[in-house]
A and B are shown apart, each in its own frame.
Chain A
Amino acid sequence: MTDLSLTQVGLGLDRDEPTPPTDAALRGPSRGRDLLRLLAQPGLVLAVIVAVLVLLAAFFPSVFTGRDPLEAVPKDKLQGPSLEHLFGTDQLGRDLFSRVVHGAALSMKATVIAVSLGLVLGSLIGLISGFFGGWLDFALMRVVEVVLAIPSLLLSLAIITALGFGTVNVAIAVGLASVARFARVMRSEVLRVRGAVFVEAAKAAGARWYEILFRHVLPSALGPATVLAALDFGIAILAVSALSFLGYGANAPAPEWGSLVAGGRTYITSAWWLTVLPGVVVMAAVLATNRISRAVDGGRSRS
C-alpha cells in the first residue's frame, strides 16, 4: 500500500520544528468556546460522529446489529443492499453489514496496538537519543534514517515474514514500521526542551537525571508526538487493511475490513457491494481520523 507513510511524508515536512506552546495554549480556551468552534465546522462534526460510530462498533457491535456475522443463510446468498440487509449478503448468505460492524473490532484493535507501539517505542528512542546525545544519539539516528529509507509496507512485510500471520502480528508489523517517525519527532522536541530554563533549574536544584528526564523533559516534549499519533491513526488503518487484504491478518471466517474486500473480489461482476461497501467504511474512518488529527494539530499551532 503506497499510502502508508505518504501523508506522513507530505505533512511531515513542517513537523520537525514544532512551534513552542505559548502560555495561552497551555491554559487553553474555555470549554464553551471550544464547543462553539467545533460546531462552526460541519466537516469536523461529521468526522467526530463517524469516529464515535466506529469506536462504538468496535466495542459494542450489538448496538448496530443483532445478526451473527458468521451465520450463513444459504437461501439469502448474494443479495443486494436492502432494508433487510443494509450492505447486502455474501456468497454464503452472511449479512455484510454485520460483518463490517464486527470487523471494526479486529481492525480497530490492530490499529490501536500499532499506533500505541509506534508512539511508546518511538518516543522512548527519541527521548533517549535527544536527552543523552553523543555517540548514542548518532548511532540511533543513523538507524532511524535507514529505516525511513525503506518503504514502510516492505518493512511490515519483512516483520510479518519473521513473526507469522494474525491480527496482532499485523499490528506489531505496522507499529514497528512507524517507530522511526515517532523517534525523529520526539528527538527534535527533546532537543528543544533540554536547554529550557526549567530543566536547567531542576539540574541546578540537584534533581537526578531520570527525574529530569521523566518529570520535566518528557511531559513538555510529548505534544508533537501525540499529534503525530493522531495523524498516524489514519495511516495505520490503511496499512492494517492493506495487509489484511493481502491475507496476512486474521484466519478465514473472522471478519476484518481488508479481508472483506479481498473476499468480495471473486464476485466483483455480480455483487459490487461486497467490494465497494467495506472500502467505503475504511475510507470514511480514515477521512474522519485525518480530519480530527488536523483539528488537534491546528488547535495546537493556532493558539
Chain B
Amino acid sequence: MGRYLARRLAAAVGVLWAAYTLAFAILYLLPGDPAEILAAGGENTDPDPAALEKLRAEYGLDRPIAEQYWDKLWAALHGNFGVSVTSGRPVTDVIKDAAPSTLLLTFGALAAAIIGGALLALIATYPRGAGLRQLLLSLPSLAVSAPTFWVGLILVQLLSFQWRLLPAIGNEGWKSLVMPVVTLAIPVSAVVAQVLAKSLLTELGSPYVEIAHAKGVSRTRIHLRHVARNAAIPTLTLVGVLTGELLAGTVVVETVFSRAGIGRVTAAAVERQDIPVVLGVVVFSAAIFVVVNLLIDLVYPLLDPRIAQNGARA
C-alpha cells in the first residue's frame, strides 16, 4: 500500500509540472507576441514601440525563452504565479478568492452527475425487455448533444421567468446553486450513465451472476450488491477526467448564470488576454485533477483488494 501511494504521488507531481509546462508553451510559444497581447489587453490598438520595449523589460520577455521558463517555474514552485495584467493582483489571490464558490458548484455537479447517471444506468439495465432499456439508454446521447449554455438559458426561462421558482442569477443562497449544478451535471451524468450501463451489461453476462441466480439470490440483490460493485470500477476511473471537464464547464455555466467564480475569472482573463491568470487557472485545474485522482486511488483498493497488492489499476 505504501509503495502504491508513493508511486501515485510521484505521478501527481509529474502531471502538475507537465501541465504548467504545456500551458507555458501554449501561451508563450504560439504565434502572437506576449508583449503586444499584454499591452493591448484585449483591445485592438497598436501600442507604440517604446511602450512595448518597456513591457518586455518589465515582464522579462526580452530574455531567452528557456530562461523565462525556469524563472517562472521556480517562482511558481514557491507559490508565486505572477500578477494579473488587468487588475495587478497576484494570480494566487485572484484564484483563491474565486475558488470556493466554483469548487462548491463543481463538486455539487459531480455528486448530481454520479447519482443521476448511476440511477439511470441501474434502472435501464434492470428490466428484461429490450424496448424500455433502449428507450432509457437513448437519453444520454440526447443529453450530450445539447449545448450547455442553451440548456442553462432554457432552465432560466422556465424556472425563473415562467414559474418564478429559482433566482436567475447570482451567488446568494442554495437556491441560486440549483440550476447551475443541474446544467453542469447533465452532460456528465450522461457519460456516467453510458459507461456504467455498458459495464453493468457486461457484468450481468458473467458466470458469477448465473451462480448467484442458481443459489436463489433475488434479482434486485444481484443487481445492486454484486453487479453494481464490480461495474463501478470503470466509471470510477473516469471521475478525475469528469471533474476536470466540470471545472472547465464552469466557464460557460458561470457566464450563463452570472455567478462569480473561477469560470468567470477565466472568461474575463481570456477576453483581456491576461496570460498569467490563464496559466494559473490551467495549473489550478490540473491540481484539482491530481487531487481527485489521488482520492480515487485510495478508493480502488476498497472496491477491489487485488489492486493494492499489485499496485496497478484493473
Contacts and interface: CB of A to CB of B under 8 A. Distances in A.
Interface in B201-259: 234, 238, 240-242, 244-249, 251-252, 255
Interface stretch (A56-64, A83-91, A279-287): A279-287
A188 interface: no
Nearest to A288: B145
Interface string A228-250: 00000010001001100111100
Interface string B11-44: 0000100110011001110111000010000000
Given A7-B141, A161-B270, 16 more contacts: A1-B147, A2-B184, A4-B248, A7-B144, A9-B195, A153-B249, A159-B26, A161-B27, A164-B37, A245-B252, A248-B271, A258-B149, A268-B157, A269-B157, A283-B147, A287-B145
Most buried by B among A1, A13, A149: A149
B68 interface: no
Interface in A20-49: none
A157 B264 CA distance: 13
Contacts of B252: 1-2, 153, 242, 245-246
Contacts of B247: 151, 154
Contacts of A148: 241
A192 to B, nearest CB: 23
Given A245-B149, A265-B153, A162 B191 contact: no
A146 B145 contact: no
Contact of A158 (B26, B150, B190): B26
A147 B15 CA distance: 10
Nearest to A5: B245
Nearest to B196: A10
A1 B148 contact: yes
A101 interface: no
Given A162-B27, A238-B147, A247 B282 contact: no
Interface in B144-180: 144-150, 153-154, 156-157, 161
Contact of A7 (B15, B191, B242): B191
A153 B32 contact: no
Contacts of A254: none
B30 A163 contact: yes
B80 interface: no
A197 interface: no
Given A13-B234, A149-B15, A162-B30, A6 B147 contact: no
Contacts of A248: 270-271
B19 to A, nearest CB: 6
Contacts of A143: 18, 22
A103 to B, nearest CB: 14
Contacts, number: 196
| Interface size bracket, B side | 35 or more
A234 B147 CA distance: 11
A183 interface: no
A146 B245 contact: no
A150 B248 CA distance: 9
A246 B26 contact: no
A160 to B, nearest CB: 6
Most buried by B among A146, A279, A286: A146
A157 B278 contact: yes
B142 A287 contact: yes
Interface in A129-167: 142-143, 146-155, 157-164
B147 A242 contact: yes
A157 B266 contact: yes
A275 B21 CA distance: 39
